[in-house]
Structure 1
Amino acid sequence: MGLEQAYYTSCEAGLRGTKGFQMNAASSGLSPTDLTYLERYGVYLPPLSCPTMPATPEELALFPRNLAYYKLPDGTAVLSRSQYLGQDYSRRFGNFFTHYVVSRQAAGLIGKVNPVFAWEAPFWVSREAPQSQLPLLESLSSGSALNPETMRTFLAAGDRRSHLPNFLAAVHAALSSRKRLILVEQDEAIARWIALAALALPNSLLAELSFSTYTKNPYNMDVLICGTTADSDFAFSPAEIQHQYQVFDFVRNRFSPPPPQTRFSVAAAEWYAAGDFQEAADFKEFADNLQGNYQAGDLDALVVLYAFIRNQPVGDQEVLDSVNFLIAKGLVGHQDLLNTATAALCDLPVDNRAADRVAGALFSAVLSAPGTGPEAREDATRFYVDWAVQRLLPGATPETFASLAAAFARHRVPPPAWEAARTEIVRWLENPPGAAWLVALIGFLQEVRILPGFEAAVLAGVRTTLWPRLDDPQVQDLLGSIFEAGTLPGLDDLVVGNVLTSGRRPEGLDPLESLLSRPRTRERLKELAARRGETAMVILLTARELAKSSDKAQATVKFLDAPGLPAGARLTAPDLDLLFHQVWRSGMMLPRDARTLLDRRPDLLSHPAFCRLLVQGLLRSSDILNPTGETRELLQKLREMATPSGPARAGQSPAVKLPPEVQGCLELAAWPQRYEAAGTAGDRIQALKRILYLLPPENAGARSSLMRFVLVRYLSSDSHGAKSSDFLADLYALDGELLLASLPGVIETVFNKSSLSPGQWVPLFAFLHRRSTEEPPNRHIDDLYKQILPHAYDTLPKHVKHLLDGMLSSKSDWHTPWETWKKRPSLINKLSGGLLGR
């Protein structure tokens, strides 16, 4: 596309229609607004040192030319050249001519010429046009002045070479900070300085490198690099030189503090110092071919990438930074860059963990990029598979395995990509560094869908390393996931065989809880067991499920109605025995569960295992001593079975052999009558001893109720007399802990109904007094003797206290203990004394 152009000078005929400075001619696409902006930039004021009325070509040559590149507010790019002409049409001095080349997009201009290399190019015009409309410029050519030979000569003169790195660093910094450079030197020298930067800049940054080779007033020329003269309007104040601008005054040797060097400034300075201007041009071409919209901060990474391509040495961190740059800029699709980057990463030390992260990011970036070709995908996959096998997997943690597996699975890396690593993976499977590592490796192979290809090695590793650790939940979870997938027939046989063997003992499957807690694993095991005719295994696995049900009894009833056994199989007595003991593994069945089962299957009462569980449940039922509800109904059924009403009829099932504990249940249910029927205290102690023997220790509720009942009956009756303290001693001998735990509540209960009579007090006091003198001290005895009993005594009526004093004080062996005990402050007195401060 052609470029618009315009001429500005002092003329008789122009676009304004009057004489004087104006646009002499312009392309039709330039609007009046465009032309107004262009006029502001095109004004030329000569240096004060130049002649005011130059008369010869030599004098005119003293006036600096201004080649400028800048952008208008709307982003329009302008390349202009201003030249002092001397006299205008009226022979007045001060005339100049500015030729503008305009492009709406900077790329349109940059694509035709590197702006500064338009210095003295043949397309420039310095004479006014006879017509007002100018054609479009279809092409632009560079001038011949800024060639490598003249540039070498330029740098060799004076101390310019020593300032080159600082100048390039200042340009690099200005592209991001916008801190302007002020150059003081002859106009063509300034163009050469600018060319040294522009020659190496990618087009996207070249478009931002605005400049002017001469202006009298740099304050009015908003460009990054502003050339001027020593006698210009620029003040060159210390603040400006030190802080506000980057000054390079080669006439009076005034220079700002140098900025930090960058990878770009150092590399470009080295190229130029060696006289290798082609290297800079090659770097620019390399960057432009990548077709990125680069920022100033990208230059260093581009230099390192270029060094990659040229096989030049770069540091480890530069390698990582550059690969990250490739990823961030979406350049991973360039095959040569990808190959170079992967090769550079592989040259980094094995223990470089940052390299691991960058390698993974590169792999994901290549396979995620929408335009990545098959060759690049293949190369990136091959690279990262090799990276994983050689660098990551040997020392991988479970988290590393999981992260890698997710990456390979997400990008659907095909199984053939792993073929080159087969030998290494097989070696690891057969000789792993540890069980946990092998678990993670096998899980990884499963996740990336290549496990079946390593079946033999996996089975070898499982047998030698994992099977001895089958009690490890992680091992079980791994085997369960593989088993459920059904991808390794050999592992199926191994797992099923082990479960069948272990399951022949009811507790044999307990160590495999993590494995069997997986629903799909259980279902597949049952399926395989049924296929092999292993009825017991189906029952065992089902029973473990039933045991976890919120309503075990109802779930068991459903199973008994439709057991789902192998074809032709029926539930046998051993099968039921296995079922009940696995579902009720505590060894007891709650009465409500038994009632649910018997309502549906009354015949279960004839099954010994069911009866044993039922009886154990009854023995531990809190209402066994005073049966209600299900407990009473179940005891009645047992009573009927234990006492058949007549001889068995023909065809009737033979009598069931009930567990011996059935008789104990029946005794417990009838114990109040037996206790009341006992004539003496000794008989009652024996009856109580029998009941406590029958009641399991874990049925604490029933045992506590029993002891409270006996104590209440004892303390509520006067028939025992003073000598009956032996009864309490006998109770203490049966179960002292239970007695002492029950006494406080019983004393309170009896006292609330009616105060203890002297006949009740004497044996209780005598018992507690004797126990209080025993060693070691008993906290429960102390509480009863020193707090609870004194509190009860303090609340007795006076006449009862008088009778009690008479009974105990008259006995020589009780007088002293009784009087001493009465002097102890009661709990109430202690509390009231404390509150009153006594």
Structure 2
Amino acid sequence: MSFQQLYYTSCEHGLSPSAGFQFNAVSEQVSAETRLRVEGLAGYEPPRSLAESDTPELLARCPVNLCHTPDPQGGATTLCVRYVGRDSARRFGNYFAHALYNEGEFTPDSGGLLAIELWDSPVWTARVAETTEIPELPAPLPRGPLSPRSARAFLRAHPHAEQLPALLAAVFAALAEDGSVVVIDDTTDRIAHWFAAVSYLLPPPLARTLSFATYLFRPTRSRLHLIGTVPGAQPDFGPDDEESYTVFDFSAGRFPEVVPTHHLVRLLTRIGVGAIRSVWSWTAEYTHGQERALGDWHAPVAAAAAAGGTELTDADIRAVIDWLPGAGHLGPRRAAVAADIHHTHRDLDDDQLAALSAAAETGGDTALHHELEGKLHQSRIRAYVTGVENAPGPVPITHPTERERATALWQRMLGEAANSRQQVRLLLWAVGARLAPPPELLTAQSLDLARALLGSSGAGPGLREEVAHLVHTLPEFRAGLATAAQEVLDERGGQEQLFAQFPATLLSERDLGERPRLLEYYWRAQAERQPARTVGLLFRILEVRGQASPDAELLRGLWRQPSPAWTYEEATEIARRLPSDQPVDEAVAEWFDRAVKQEVRDEEGLRACLVLCDTLTAPGRDAWLRAVTRECVRTTLQLDTALREATEATALARAFRIPQIDAWAAPRALKHYRLLPAMLRLPVDPARLRTEIGEFGFSLADGYLRSVYQAAVTSDRGHVDGVLFSQVTGVIAINYERVPLPLAHVEIVRGLRRHTAEHWRYEDLDRLARALRPYSARLADEYQQHADNRLGRVKKWRRKLTQRRPSDGPRPEGG
């Protein structure tokens, strides 16, 4: 994102052929429409007392106009207009307007800034450009000194801070009704602080639509939402302006008599500017994106505030409870909202408790749902069908007459059932009492109930349990449920999740054996619940379809979460089970491509990736792959072979110097996890290492040099094997004056030279001197000298040890 710039002032040189007010300079892409908009916003009149300001001190006292106007197409124009006194002809009245314009969303792409936070930003200038073309500015723009903290400090110190709720309410009204709010204060800096406080308290989507100007000499000539001015200007508000302009004169202490203040406004100001940004970030989790009016925002903000520990008023609580039944977008969070309200407010009435109970149930909080249900009046539970609480369940009726009466009663109550649960209980009663209603009636009622249940949402635990019992005890209902599921698929598309929903989950493969389409959707739901079975279920679906290869739709339907992709293990199993002598759908090639190229997270993943690559090279399978995927597989296996069969370290490093290392995940993982350990196990050709270390790349060279150094340090008192000896020789022999190395690596080489010279045994130093001679006679001589010195010190030490050995005392005569 970048911002087009425009400079507008009275000058001699600019886009106009003559001197005067004109655009001094603009960015290349600025349109005529943008210039026209900026020219209309850039006008400036200083207060009369400051009109002849021409010293820096007087000019600094002139009001500054930071003006911001979003446009309906999504762009935004922002200007900083400063009074500069005289123009080139020495006439007073000149001003300089520096404008920014962007065609996209202003706030999100500019680093999260609100437009008012550009107040006193270092981005603004008042200097005429030497050329007529100036560059665009990249985002993010540097913010000025305004922040929630500074706005809070300003409010605490202002004598009229209690007017903030009325000011915020007036701005809400201006946004809704295209009105204007005028703020008068002693300086434009104070006005900017008022604007900042309002901007922070507004819902972020509304704050981005707020237009404002921190200073206008004649406010009545503007229809911006927020307009600032100072006492020395000319407000000129007449009787006809009362409906269009709401004036807050903080300088004179004059304010509107009555400003309707919504409960949301009171809640926002009670939260305060300092804490509101956290609440807005929480509120985003409670909104559905269609909030417009004050009432739309009240409940989400109150719910977020309650979660953060803010005390709610009765009006806030009513708003949240009234909102919960329709807040299906919350999902499980609906139960969390109910818990926040319930745990902090214990004086709710039954209707409110019932609403919270429903929210807890649909949100999945069974414990809270049961707790709330226990507080409701016991009259909610009256009878098994229409009786009292804890009424006994049905018992078998054996007498023919009684059975006949019971059947008649049952049929009569069918028409009185108010909901699916009563219908379920009626059917369970028929089964438990062993009634014998007409088979066609029982079948019809079972099918009607199944249709109703499939079309419902939010079934509670009790109904789920009863329906599950009904499915296992009434064959007619079980058959009706399968028929209803088939009807849903036949009548409406997009029902892939049918068998992930209640009560279709109660059906089994046995119920769907004669319905191939239902069976497929059942298996899809099984795959979502049991991801480990997904590959096996894929091939069962292919068998039912009579297909050899899956298509893109089937793959996306089976692998839905967390992203539509195969693991290495899944891709390997699929590759082995697909017939290698037959072509596959284009989607399969795409999924294999994604599987091969997915990021390798650890060594275990790398092993699985290598198994997949090896599997895909089998005859016939490589034909499934795209050319670039085949190349990736081939390169991966070649590098794996090189790791296992290499005999010299620098040759192995050279094998990994291919462009695909950075482009493909598998080769990159081989380099990351296995290259350095493999090189450290191999001898090195010093002649190659001393010249090729610069081509290793920083990470590999750093790891190799540090590992060789550490190994040399730990071998001080032991035997230096041939592999380590060759590695140390190669590192010491590096001519870092010719081979460009980072300073850190030069220090490692120097450190290794010092350490071996000071700590290695004579024998190893002597070997090292001989090994270094073909590459550097100077180094060889130095190490030979160190070896000779070490040998001399050893001889002296042995001589001293012999002299210090205690005497055995005088020997006896003849001894």
Please classify the TM superposition score into its range, dividing by the shorter chain length: 0.3 to 0.5
Give the TM-score normalised by structure 1: 0.45
* Structure ID, larger Rg: 1
